[in-house]
Amino acid sequence: MVTRSTIMDTNSFREEHAAALDADTRKLTDKRAQLLGESYRLFYRNPVHLVKGQGQYLWDAAGNKYLDVYNNVASIGHCHPAVIEAVNAQMQMLNTHTRYLHENILDYSEALLATAPAEIDRAMYMCTGSEANDLAIRIARSFSGGTGIIVSQEAYHGTSDLTSGCSPALGSGQALPATTRLVPAPDQYRVATDDLGEWFAKQIQQQIDDMNAKGIKFAGFLADSIFSSDGVMPNPVGYLQKAVDVVHANGGIFIADEVQPGFARTGDSFWGFGRHGVVPDIITTGKPMGNGIPVSGLLAKSHVLAAFSDHIPYFNTFGGNPVAMAAAQAVLKVIQEEQLQAHSKKVGAQLQAELSKLMDRHPRIGDVRGAGLFIGFELVTDRDTKQPDKALALNLIEELRNTHRVLTSVAGPYGNVLKLRPPLAFQASDIDWLVGALDQSLSKLGA
């Protein structure tokens, strides 16, 4: 039996699509198949050969310009000059590891910790979000004395042994250990309840109770505060507080995975969890932190971190290196000086309003929801039944890519939610391109 992954395989090129490719694209896909491991995936039935990026735009090898509505790796925009300058300058001086003294890591840590709640007062650095979440799980287990980790049903938290074991989004081929427990996502669109926070807290308590019954001690709850892989679940504001209260009442810690909702993305707060008024015990981050330079971080309450760090040394050769820290500092400075959090809130609200207007013309748009420049665009076969329409979603992203040169992808357990998450360089002037492309594509697809 062939196993499928919701996060990797849903919007992907497969060999069955090869016959439709032009000769140059086919040559590249064939060469990849000969040289690279088979676990890799390409986006789109007709893969995009990108050669240049600037801000919110990308160009392919033929010179075609695309609007990037998916990429949070280049969070402040592709090839941002401030990051290029910072990295180039530091590379010409020194790049080494954290076992030597250097100002960059200290200056950046002061600046980054200043964005977090006061209780969060320690920083550590790695290269990827997977490494940050891996360390966070280890700390949670040291602090609690337990092993049980709770995540949402479609969560993605990384590719290491520990984090892939907490990433059901990787699909049926990835076995989850008995110490990983899943809770349904807090989906305001589909869950019938008057108090989503209370409902979600009960789901967590049920899993903790079941762990206890089976001799597994609870260690922590690991969550992306906008539940992006579950289909983008931003509202109602504040619903996470009751869940975090349950976690603490049971001796566990809350790890806020901010790889996707952090760094001004949601507009309401620098960190995604800030919208809910909660204070995590650990914050993890990755991709948007360096705008394309591999760097990630873990911020923690000192007494929580001490349970691990007082007993176990930690060293990551490239984590926190001067070049990575220079890139991260440049990103943070741009976010603050260009007021990108306020920009994300304003432009995101304008975009969401225009997307919602499409519902009047296209009955198969079931829901439009989001926070800042992070929007879920859900497609259904019928609004009354809310039956997910995965086929339409996949055809829509292909039409957007081929005809309108708009790049995005899908999320959620049914693969029917377009995840609209452009670089923060996205402007109000780009809204017409995106909304017009969606409008025309849905009309062409009869939706």
Q: Residues 258-262: what's their mean pLDDT?
A: 97
Choosing from 270, 304, 338, the residue where a domain stops is 338
Contact status, residue 220 vs residue 255, Cβ threshold 8 Å: yes
**Residue 377: pLDDT band by 50, 70, 90 thresholds?**
very high
Taking 50 as the threshold, does the pLDDT of residue 2 lie above it? no
Distance CA 361, CA 91 (A): 53
Determine the residue type at 436. G
Q: Which two tokens stand for residue 362?
A: 């296209």
Distance CA 90, CA 93 (A): 5
Assess whether 297 and 348 both reside in one domain.
no
| pLDDT tens string 165-218 | 999 999 877 789 999 999 999 999 999 999 999 999 999 999 999 999 999 999
Taking 60 as the threshold, does the pLDDT of residue 3 lie above it? no
**Residue 41: pLDDT band by 50, 70, 90 thresholds?**
confident
pLDDT at residue number 8: 65
How far from chain centre, in Å, is Cα 89?
A: 30
Assess whether 210 and 318 both reside in one domain.
yes
How many of the other CB atoms lie within 10 Å of CB of 182? 16
Q: Which long-range contacts (CB under 8 A, 24 or more apart) does 15-18 make?
A: 17/45, 17/46
Assess whether 190 and 112 both reside in one domain.
yes
Distance CA 247, CA 202 (A): 11
| pLDDT, averaged across the chain | 95
Q: Which two tokens stand for residue 385?
A: 């039944």
Assess whether 318 and 430 both reside in one domain.
no
Distance CA 10, CA 441 (A): 19
Contact status, residue 309 vs residue 129, Cβ threshold 8 Å: no
pLDDT at residue number 1: 35
Helix, strand, coil in percent for the chain, rounding step 5: 40, 15, 45
- Structural domain for 408, as ranges: 48-78+340-445
Assess whether 345 and 411 both reside in one domain.
yes
pLDDT top residue among 1 and 157: 157
The number of folded domains in the chain is 3
| pLDDT tens string 273-326 | 999 999 999 999 999 999 999 999 999 999 999 999 999 999 999 999 999 999
Assess whether 288 and 266 both reside in one domain.
yes
Taking 70 as the threshold, does the pLDDT of residue 118 lie above it? yes
Taking 60 as the threshold, does the pLDDT of residue 68 lie above it? yes
Contact status, residue 425 vs residue 334, Cβ threshold 8 Å: no
CATH number, residue 60: 3.90.1150.10
How many of the other CB atoms lie within 10 Å of CB of 81? 11
